[in-house]
Amino acid sequence: MYLEQWDPYYHKMKLALALIVALQVSVCLCHLPTPDKELVEKYEGLKAIFLKRLANAYETAHTTIEKLAEGTITGEKVKEIAQHAKENERIQVIAKLAAAVGEELHPALEKARLAALGVYGEYLRPYIGIYLDTAINNIKPVLDTWLPAEKH
């Protein structure tokens, strides 16, 4: 309070200090740690297994639905609509456009994924890494039962 009344530079010093703190925070936020090679490999392995599980689940569901719908009026109509959609030029163009957009976004998504893994590895993994690893290992038997990665 004393400084506010008598020092004409008090407000300027306060502003300068706020600016210095803001610059320090912005510099800290710009530097993102790079993830460990071991963490990236572990993530890639878990991601590959998860995608295999999803692909197998989709294939199983698709064949089951096809068998159930086979010979019914609705099933034949769905097959007809699917065939028409495959032959439709607009749908083909939309599919090609979606693939091109996905291809263009892939580097940015990869960079964001690596940045997120780096932040996780640097700041969160020391605290929650053991618990997350335990949870993943505990859920694997359940997933092997209900969503197997390999066909039997």
Give the pLDDT score at 125. 94
Instruction: Decide: 57 and 147 in contact? Cβ < 8 Å.
Output: yes
Query: Tokens standing for 95?
Result: 């599919």
This prediction has a pTM of 0.69
Regions of the chain short of the pLDDT cut 50: 1, 3
Amino acid letter, residue 33: P
Report pLDDT for 121: 93
pLDDT at 70: 77
